[in-house]
C-alpha cells in the first residue's frame, strides 16, 4: 500500500513533466500540428496540476497522518513512508499507534518531529459506527 500511495502522490509531478514534454514537441512542430485549441486545454490542465502540487505541499491545506502498529515490518514501512513524504514536502505532524498496549511503545526517536497518538484496541463487540465514534473521541 505504501508504494501505491507514493505513486499517487507523485502523479502530479509526473503528469506535469509529461505535459512539459508535449509542449516542447508542440512548439517545435506547431506549424505541422496546429491544434491550438487542444494545446490551450492542455495548458489549463497543467495549471490545475501545478495548483494541486502546491496544495499537497501546503501544510495549511494538506496533512498526512500515518497509522502504524508495534510490529517491526510495519514500523520499517512507516519510517520509509515518513522519509518519502518529507522528501516530497508533504506535511506529517502526527502518527497514530493503532492497537496500542502499554509496554509496547514505539520509540519516539524513530519518528522525530511527529506527535505519537496512542489508540488502544477497541472492543469488537460493538457496532462499527460505535467503534468509529469511540476512536474519534480518543483521537480528537
List pLDDT tens digits, range 86-108: 999 999 999 999 999 999 999 99
- What band does 75 get if pLDDT is binned at 50, 70 and 90? very high
pLDDT digit string, tens, across residues 103-130: 999 999 999 999 999 999 877 776 888 8
Integer Cα distance of 135 and 129 in angstroms? 10
Q: How far is CA 107 from CA 28, 114, 115, in A?
A: 56, 11, 12
- What band does 33 get if pLDDT is binned at 50, 70 and 90? low
Helix axes of 2-33 and 36-56: crossing angle, nearest 10 degrees:
150
Average pLDDT over every residue of 4-27: 86
Note the pTM of the prediction, 2 decimals.
0.74
Give the domain ranges of the chain.
2-56, 65-139
Amino acid at each position: 500500500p505504501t508504494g501505491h500511495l507514493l505513486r499517487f502522490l507523485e502523479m502530479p509531478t509526473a503528469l506535469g513533466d509529461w505535459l512539459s514534454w508535449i509542449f516542447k514537441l508542440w512548439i517545435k512542430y506547431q506549424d505541422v500540428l496546429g491544434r491550438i485549441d487542444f494545446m490551450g486545454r492542455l495548458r489549463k490542465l497543467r495549471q490545475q496540476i501545478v495548483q494541486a502540487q502546491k496544495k499537497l505541499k501546503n501544510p495549511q491545506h494538506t496533512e498526512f497522518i500515518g497509522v502504524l502498529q508495534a510490529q517491526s515490518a510495519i514500523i520499517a514501512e512507516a519510517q520509509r513512508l515518513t522519509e518519502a513524504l518529507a522528501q516530497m514536502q508533504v506535511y506529517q505532524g502526527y502518527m497514530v499507534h493503532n492497537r496500542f498496549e502499554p509496554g509496547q511503545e514505539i520509540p519516539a526517536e524513530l519518528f522525530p518531529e511527529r506527535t505519537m497518538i496512542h489508540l488502544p484496541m477497541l472492543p469488537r463487540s460493538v457496532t462499527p459506527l460505535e467503534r468509529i465514534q469511540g476512536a474519534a473521541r480518543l483521537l480528537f
